[in-house]
Each structure stands twice: as structure tokens, then as C-alpha cells.
């Protein structure tokens, strides 16, 4: 089941990034040796591109590699947020709304009649906070999903514009840096940020595996024989 869950995630990459256009003639064909220097290839793979990855990218250009790098980073970032959200929901931690009921706190949300998530469905924020992760997802009303899809679509349009139309950015750089971490000599290519980029990729990979396993165990209790929230 866990393997099937992981395989099911693979086609989703196309939903987060534009097509790599693998059928178009590449400007300079990639080879296994040229892929060995790609960011994210460290001691786990002997600092070399795995044979499957080299086979997938065989005969393509740098644009295809950048597309896959962007897809991996986006999925990794989403998975890292998902693992945190899963644990927060699983442990019943509740963050009250700003100006919300004064009686609410982290573990005991106030059951206030004025704080409905959906009055038509009769669902309160307190109800969502008390649900299991998958049940909470099912309880979100259609209007809530429309808002989520709108924000996700807007974010994806901005990312596409900055990464592909404007160009000149490393994969994963969408121009959003309110704290100014990249405003240093060398930018994202500096040794310090290169190291942090590798750590982000690794943490994202672990998070993708973790959230897949946790969701599988939530759907089929006992499917994951190791620790889980």
C-alpha cells in the first residue's frame, strides 16, 4: 500500500510545473556524467545520478533537468508543510483565529456558535480541530476548496512567470524572499545557500516519504509498522 501511495504521487508533478517538452530538440543533450554534478546528489547515491534518473533524462536538455528539479522542490516543500499540518491535526493542536473567542487555547478550542466554518453544513472550526486528519479534509466545504485552489493557482502563475518567463533563476527560486536570505554575495549560488538548498531537498524527500506513509496508515491502520503520529 505504501509503495502504491508513493507511485500515485509521481504523476502529480505535472500539476505543479509546466511541461518539460522532452520531445523538443535539446540545446545540449544531457548524459549520466553531466548529471553527476546536479544539486541534491550527495553521499546517498555516491554523488552520482542514479541509473533510473539518468535513463529518464537521457537525450534531453538542461531545461528538462530544471523542470524535474522544480517539481521535486515544490513537492518537497508541500510535503514538509503537510507533515507539520498532519501532526498538528493528529495531536489536536488548535490555533484560534485572530480576534477569536477568548476562551480558546492551543489544545481546547472554544465551541462558540459565532465561529462557523460553514453555517449551511453546520461545521464549526472547533469541529475541524477535533477531527482526525483525513476526516478534517473531508469536512472542508466546497467553498473552502475553491479558495484553496484559487490561492494555489495564483501562486503557480506567479512561480511560472518568475521561473520560466523571466528566467535566469535557479530551480526553486520564485522571487519570494521577504527576509532577505538570498541578498548576499553570490545569492543562491553562494556556498552557504548551496548547502541549505541541499538540506531542503533532502528534508523534502524525507517529508514526501513520511506523509505518504502516514496517510496510508491513516487509511489502513497498521500499514506502517514504525513510529507515526
Q: What is the pLDDT of residues 87-142, one digit of tens each?
A: 988 887 766 554 455 445 555 555 555 577 777 888 877 778 788 899 989 998 89
Q: Are 37 and 30 in contact (CB under 8 A)?
A: no
Residue 78 pLDDT > 90: yes
Residues 44 and 123: their CA atoms lie apart, in Å, by: 47
pLDDT at 112: 54
Per-residue confidence at 9, pLDDT binned at 50, 70, 90? very low
Cβ–Cβ under 8 Å, residues 109 and 126: yes
Percentage of the chain modeled with pLDDT above 70: 76
What average pLDDT does this structure show over 40-61? 83
pLDDT at 17: 43
* The dihedral sign for the CA sequence 153, 193, 210, 36: positive
Bigger pLDDT: 210 vs 17: 210
Q: What angle do helix axes 191-219 and 2-9 make, rounded to 10 degrees? A: 130
Nearest Cα to Cα of residue 74 among 226, 204, 219, 207: 204
The length of the chain, given as a count of residues = 229
User: Is residue 189 within 8 Å of residue 170, measured between CB atoms?
Assistant: yes
For residue 177, the model assigns a pLDDT of: 84
Amino acid at each position: 500500500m505504501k509503495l502504491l501511495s508513493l507511485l500515485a504521487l509521481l504523476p502529480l508533478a505535472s500539476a505543479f510545473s509546466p511541461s518539460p517538452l522532452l520531445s523538443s530538440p535539446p540545446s545540449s543533450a544531457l548524459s549520466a556524467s553531466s548529471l553527476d554534478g546536479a544539486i541534491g546528489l550527495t553521499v546517498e547515491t555516491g554523488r552520482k545520478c542514479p541509473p533510473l534518473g539518468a535513463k529518464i533524462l537521457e537525450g534531453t536538455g538542461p531545461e528538462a533537468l530544471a523542470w524535474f528539479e522544480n517539481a521535486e522542490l515544490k513537492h518537497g516543500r508541500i510535503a514538509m508543510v503537510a507533515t507539520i499540518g498532519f501532526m498538528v491535526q493528529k495531536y489536536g493542536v488548535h490555533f484560534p483565529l485572530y480576534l477569536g473567542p477568548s476562551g480558546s487555547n492551543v489544545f481546547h478550542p472554544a465551541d462558540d456558535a459565532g465561529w462557523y466554518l460553514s453555517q449551511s453544513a453546520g461545521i464549526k472550526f472547533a469541529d475541524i480541530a477535533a477531527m482526525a486528519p483525513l476526516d478534517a479534509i473531508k469536512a472542508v466545504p466546497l467553498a473552502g476548496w475553491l479558495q484553496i485552489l484559487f490561492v494555489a493557482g495564483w501562486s503557480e502563475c506567479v512561480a511560472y512567470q518568475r521561473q520560466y518567463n523571466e528566467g535566469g533563476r535557479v530551480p526553486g527560486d520564485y522571487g519570494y524572499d521577504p527576509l532577505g536570505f538570498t541578498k548576499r554575495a553570490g545569492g543562491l549560488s553562494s556556498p552557504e545557500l548551496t548547502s541549505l538548498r541541499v538540506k531542503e531537498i533532502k528534508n523534502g524527500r524525507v517529508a514526501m516519504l513520511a506523509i505518504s506513509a502516514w496517510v496510508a496508515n491513516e487509511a489502513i491502520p497498521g500499514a506502517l509498522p514504525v513510529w507515526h503520529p
